[in-house]
Structure 1
Amino acid sequence: MMHDTSQNRDEGLLALRPEVATEPTTSNPAEAFQNGTLRPILKLQNELVLGLFRDYLTKRKQLGLEGRFARLPRPEQEAYIDHSVRTDQKFKNLLVGVVIGQFTTGEWTAFRIDEAELTRRTVQLIVQRLCSQIDLLVH
């Protein structure tokens, strides 16, 4: 019975994921996981990740009438995003958890094998995604 529930969950999660065009994967397992699992999950979770970062900015009085994030030059906005995601451990763990929560049981097993590298790649992809959508964060 437990196996059926897990299998149904895995099938449901995979069915939700959008297609993401990527370069053919090399023999690097971390890159294959990044392209086959992380990128589609981040595309699926994009609105949530943007909302979480907007909330992060609002709580730190960086958005809204007294906020300064929107007035920063773009390179400084990107640096702020990078610094926030990489150094605020609680926030970083929340964002990584948003991704991990969409893993199938097999993907979770694969993730645990190379957790440090795959977490690093996840954070890098989140930072890139947020930086590429700064206009959506401030409007």
Structure 2
Amino acid sequence: MKDPKLSIRPILEVSSNTADERFQNETLRPILKLQHSLLLKLYFTSMQQQKWKVENMSEERFQEHVNASLSKDISLRNQVIGLVIGMFTDEEFEIYQPKKNEFNKRIMGMAKKRIIDSAHEIKKLR
């Protein structure tokens, strides 16, 4: 029986050379795309709790803040990673587990880029 989580994921056409790249492109990227709005709301909520005012931030300052907060705020990092892991199938979790440190780096890199590229969307959140 096919896991229902797979049916709601977007299908992305991205080439992969290695097994790790295949996992990234067939699992991690589609999950991050699926969870995009939730990822942005999670980040925005974190900014509010830290009393950061995103509306008036320059692009450069926003990018610096994203990089710093996702590197230093362990709770936020864990929530972002959990947002992705929670959408894994059992089989994907088995692939993820032995290389979780490597895949967590990939998740955080893609999440940072997604948040930075979506600054205009985050600035519209209330």
TM-score, length basis structure 1 = 0.85
Q: Which amino acid aligns with 2:73?
A: D
Q: How does 1:23-34 map to 2 (within 5 A)?
A: 24-26=15-17, 28-34=18-24
Deviations 1:22-49 (A, max 9, x none): 1x110x2221111010000001000110
Corresponding position of 1:81: 66
Please give the secondary structure, in 1, of the residue aligned with 2:83: helix
Say yes or no: does 1:11 pair with 2:6: no
Deviation at 1:113, TM superposition (A): 1.5
What 5-or-longer segments of structure 2 have no aligned partner?
none
TM-score if structure 2 supplies the norm length?
A: 0.93
- The residue that corresponds to 2:85 in the other structure is 100
Please identify the structure whose Cα radius of gyration is greater: 1
- Give deviations 1:100-123, integer Å, cap 9, x for gaps: 000000000000121111000000
Q: Cα RMSD (Å) of the superposition?
A: 1.1
Distance 1:53 1:129 in 2: 11
Say how many residue pairs are matched: 124
User: What displacement does 1:19 show?
Assistant: 1.4
The runs of at least 4 consecutive aligned structure 1 residues that moved more than 4 Å come to none
Partner of 2:29: 39
